[in-house]
Amino acid sequence: MNYDKLLAPAAVSMRPSGIRKFFDLAAEMPECISLGVGEPDFKTPWAIREAGIDSLEHGRTTYTSNAGLKELRMEIARYLKRRMHLNYDPLSQILVTVGGSEAIDMCVRALVAPGDEVIIPEPCFVCYEPITTLSGGVPVHLPCRPEDDFRLKADALKAAITPRTKLLILPFPNNPTGAVMEKEDLEAIAEVLRGTDVMVLSDEIYAELTYGSEPFVSIASLPGMAERTVVVNGFSKTYAMTGWRLGYAAGPAQVIKIMTKIHQSAIMSAPTTSQYAAVVALRECDKEIERMRDEYNMRRRLVVKSFNDMGLTCFEPKGAFYAFPCIKSTGMTSQEFCSTLLEKKHVAIIPGDAFGASGEGYCRVSYAYSVSHLKEALKRIGEFLAELKAARGEA
Amino acid sequence: MEQLLKILEDNARLPVEDIAAMLDKSPAEVAAMMDLARAQGLIKGYKTLVDWEKAGVNRVEAVIELHVSPKKSRGFDDIANTIASFEEVESVLLMSGGYDLQLVIKGKTFQEIALFVAKRLSPLDDVLSTATHFVLRTYKKEGKLYQMDEIDERECTML
C-alpha cells in the first residue's frame, strides 16, 4: 500500500511537525531532566479521586447524556457564576467534553466553513491551527509582541479582521508565554468585536492559575460579549486532572446545540467516571485550587528571577505555569539553543518557535515541577550559558 | 510567615536567596523572619532525613505505647515531661484512643531498647504498662519515600 497517497494531505501536513525529533531525542536520554511538560505535577485531590472510585463501586459505567451529566452541567453553571461571573443555562448552553481540547475542536468545527478565516494570536497552544485547517478554514496568525507583554492588542486585531473572519481564538492566560489579558485589554478587544459577526473562542483552561493582583476576567462577562463567545474550560489544569480527560464549553444555545450534535457523532459522551469525579471537584475543591496556585506562584517567582539573574530576560508571566525567557542574547535560534542545551546539559525545554513564528528567540519552560527539580535544571542552564559566554570569549 | 515555614518544613536547605525569590521578599527580610521564627520557638530545629538502612548502619527504632496514671492537677504533663527528658526518646506524644503516650525510641540494638524499657521506663511510678513495637522497615517518613524513587510518569507532549 502506498500510504503517502492514501493519507489525507490536510492531515499529513498538520502541525506540529519538526518538534517530534527533539522529544524522541530527549526520551532516549535517561539522565535528561525535563522542563517540558504541560501538565500539573500535583496528584488529583483525593476527594475527587474518591468520587471517581465511588462511581465505579456503584456501577455507574454507562454513557451519560450526550451533553454530559445534568448534575455536572448544573455544577459547571454554578462554578462559572461563582468564580467567573458568567451566566449560563446548564441545560442548553453547556457541553461536557473530552478535555478542553475536544471543546476547541467542536467549537471550530461548528463554526468554521471552508474559506472562513480564524484569527490565531501567537505564540499559542498548537492545536488551533490544525483544527482550523482540517475544517477548511484559513488560519490568520496574529503575533503578540513582547513589548505588549504578549497581549493581544485591539488595533492589531482590527487590522486582521476581514469580511471572511469567522472566529477569534483568545488563548489567555497563555501557553506558552504566561501572558494574561486584563479587563481593560479585553474591553478594547470587545469594542472591536461588538457590531461584527466575529465569534470568540475564549480558551480559559488556565483561568484559575493567575498570579497578578487582578483576578481573571472572562471576555464573555463584558457587555454584549456572551452572545458572541464560546468559553472553553476544563478540569485538567485547575484540578490536576489531565488524565481524566474532561472539559467543557459554554456559549450561545444555538452554537452549543450544533457542537453537541457533532460531539454526539464523534465522541458520544465524555468519560462517565470523570464526570462524577468532576462534580465533587466543583463542589468541594476551591481550597485545593488556592493551594496549588500558591505553590505554582512561588516556583514562578523563583524561575523568573533565576532566568533574569542568568541574563536571559524573562518577562513576568502572570498566568498558567510557564515562563518564556528570551534567548536572543546567546545569538542562537530557539531550536539551536534547545537542542544544544539538551545535548550538552541534558535539559529539555521547548523552543519558542514551536508555538508560532513569533515565539522565535524564546523558549518555553514549565514550572510544573518540584523546587528541587527546577533548581537542578536551572543550575544546568546557568552552566550552559556560562560555557557559551566563555566560548565566545566573554568574561 | 506561614508560607516561609511551609517552605522550610519541606526543604530546610534551600538558600535564603531562593526563598526570598519565592516569597517576593529580599534575602535580608527572609533571614530576619527566620531569626524571628527561631527566637519565637516556631522553628524547633533543622535535621536531615537519613536512610540508615541504605547507609548500611544498624539502627533500631521502636514505637512504645504507654498507659500512665495522670495527676489530679497537672494531668499527663509531669510524666510526659519526665519521659521526654530521656535522651534515648525521640518523640513523646499524648494520644487519644487506646493508650496515653506514644514514644519513639532509637537505639543501636534491640537489646539496648529492651533494656531502656525494662530499666528506665517501666520502673517509673506513673507508668502502668508498656507495649513495645519494633520498626521493621521504613517506607515513608516525613513525606519522603524510602523504598522507591519518586517517578515522574508524565510523558505527554503538549505544545
Q: Do B33 and B65 lie in a common domain? A: no
Is residue B49 one of the residues assigned to a domain? no
Is residue B12 one of the residues assigned to a domain? yes
CA distance A168 to A58: 43
**What's the pTM?**
0.89
Nearest to A355 by CA among A332, A379, A380, A335: A335
The domain spanning residue B127 has which CATH number?
Answer: 3.30.70.920
Is residue B48 one of the residues assigned to a domain? no
CB of A80 closer than 8 Å to CB of A88:
yes
Please give the residue range of the domain that contains residue B15.
2-39
Of the partner residues B10, B18, B159, the one whose CB lies closest to the CB of residue A350: B159
Query: How many angstroms separate the CA of residue A5 from the nearest CA in chain B?
Result: 27
Of the partner residues A37, A125, A306, the one whose CB lies closest to the CB of residue B154: A37
Burial code of A247-285, b = ≥16 C-beta within 10 A, e = fewer? Answer: bbbbbbeebbeebbebbeeeeebbbbbbbbbbbbbbeeb
Is residue B117 one of the residues assigned to a domain? yes
Q: Do B15 and B78 lie in a common domain? A: no
| Sequence-distant (≥ 6) Cβ neighbours of residue B14 within 8 angstroms | A371, B7, B8
The total number of structural domains that make up chain B: 2
Over the stretch A328-378, which tens digit does the pLDDT of each residue have? Answer: 999 999 999 999 999 999 999 999 999 999 999 999 999 999 999 999 999
- Tell me whether 0.90 is exceeded by the ipTM: no
CB atoms within 10 A of CB A344: 13
Q: Which domains does chain A have, with CATH numbers?
A: 3-43+288-388 (3.90.1150.10), 46-285 (3.40.640.10)
Please tell me what DSSP assigns to residue A225: T
Per-residue pLDDT at A384 exceeds 60: yes
CB contact under 8 Å between A306 and B21, yes or no, is: yes
Query: How many angstroms separate the CA of residue B11 from the nearest CA in chain A?
Result: 9
Is residue B73 one of the residues assigned to a domain? yes
CA distance B59 to B109: 7
- The alpha carbon of A347 is separated from its chain's Cα centroid by a whole number of angstroms, namely 23
CB contact under 8 Å between A16 and B22, yes or no, is: no
Q: Do B35 and B100 lie in a common domain? A: no
Residue of A nearest to B153 (CA): A41
Over the stretch A152-169, which tens digit does the pLDDT of each residue have? Answer: 999 999 999 999 999 999
Is residue B47 one of the residues assigned to a domain? no
pLDDT for A272: 98
Over the stretch A309-324, which tens digit does the pLDDT of each residue have? Answer: 999 999 999 999 999 9
